[in-house]
């Protein structure tokens, strides 16, 4: 698993790396653009939405939201990622912090229409995911939504099938979402499959 310094070093080539994987329909980023596109469209249904992005990276999604009138808040643990994203979104509110330890204090002082996490929360254990999502729900406005786009599967069988097909490319250090297993904690969570290894989870307050 990459630490802060690893992400700093990867930051400048991140978008290219992801793009190649998506274009080749290869694990882990097959469906990446469609995941971000669907989340973008969902947020655009609410004009001038206030959006919190957890692990925003270089700001690929949030920059588009920013350009379309959204108020952007975010947390990432890479100072280089924040630097790159801040150049694209000078009016945003971006903070450095390790989300495995929760949100940084300034972000608790806001309520959000949408909380977004794309390809970031797989760094949390299953127990941490549930605890963090419960906490994030308290930061949503009425009828607000958490939108998670990531490597995610409907059930454990689908995950294991992808693991077998990926072979040596599979990252054992990342803990991917399984929709069926989340429903014990969040019965109303919705799941949309986007590619064989990616999807979107939606949790509405």
For 134-157, write each residue's pLDDT tens digit: 999 999 999 999 999 999 999 999
Under 8 Å CB-to-CB from 135, ≥6 apart: which residues? Answer: 102, 103
On the question of pLDDT at 188 being above 90, the answer is yes
What pLDDT sits at residue 15?
Answer: 56
Enumerate domains of the chain plus CATH numbers.
4-204 (3.40.50.150)
Can you give the pTM of this predicted structure?
0.89
Backbone torsions φ then ψ of 75, nearest 5 degrees: -135, 130
State the average pLDDT over residues 58-70: 91
What pLDDT sits at residue 5?
Answer: 43
What pLDDT sits at residue 20?
Answer: 52
State the average pLDDT over residues 56-83: 92
Which residue from 85, 184, 76, 62 is spatially nearest to 121, judged by alpha carbons? 76
State the average pLDDT over residues 181-200: 96
On the question of pLDDT at 65 being above 80, the answer is yes
Q: How confident is the model at residue 2 (pLDDT cuts 50, 70, 90)?
A: very low
On the question of pLDDT at 34 being above 50, the answer is yes
Backbone torsions φ then ψ of 10, nearest 5 degrees: -85, -15
CA distances from 18 to 10, 22, 29, 85, 200 (A): 11, 6, 6, 16, 17
Which residue from 80, 135, 70 is spatially nearest to 102, judged by alpha carbons? 135
């Amino acid at each position: 698993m990459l630490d802060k310094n690893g992400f700093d070093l990867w930051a400048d080539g991140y978008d290219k790396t992801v793009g190649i994987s998506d274009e080749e329909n290869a694990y882990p980023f097959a469906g990446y653009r469609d995941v971000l596109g669907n989340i973008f469209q969902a947020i655009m249904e609410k004009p001038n939405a206030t959006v919190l992005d957890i692990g925003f990276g270089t700001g690929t999604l949030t920059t588009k939201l920013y350009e379309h009138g959204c108020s952007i808040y975010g947390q990432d643990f890479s100072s280089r990622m924040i630097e790159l994203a801040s150049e694209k979104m000078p009016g945003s509110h971006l903070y450095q912090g390790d989300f495995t330890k929760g949100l940084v204090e300034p972000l608790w002082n806001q309520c959000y229409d949408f909380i977004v996490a794309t390809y970031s929360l797989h760094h949390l254990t299953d127990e941490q995911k549930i605890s963090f999502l419960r906490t994030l729900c308290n930061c949503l406005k009425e009828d607000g939504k958490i939108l998670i786009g990531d490597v995610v599967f409907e059930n454990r069988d689908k995950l294991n099938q992808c693991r077998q097909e990926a072979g040596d490319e599979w990252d054992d250090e990342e803990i991917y979402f399984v929709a069926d297993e989340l429903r014990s904690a969040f019965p109303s969570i919705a799941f949309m499959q986007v590619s064989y290894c990616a999807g979107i989870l939606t949790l509405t307050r």
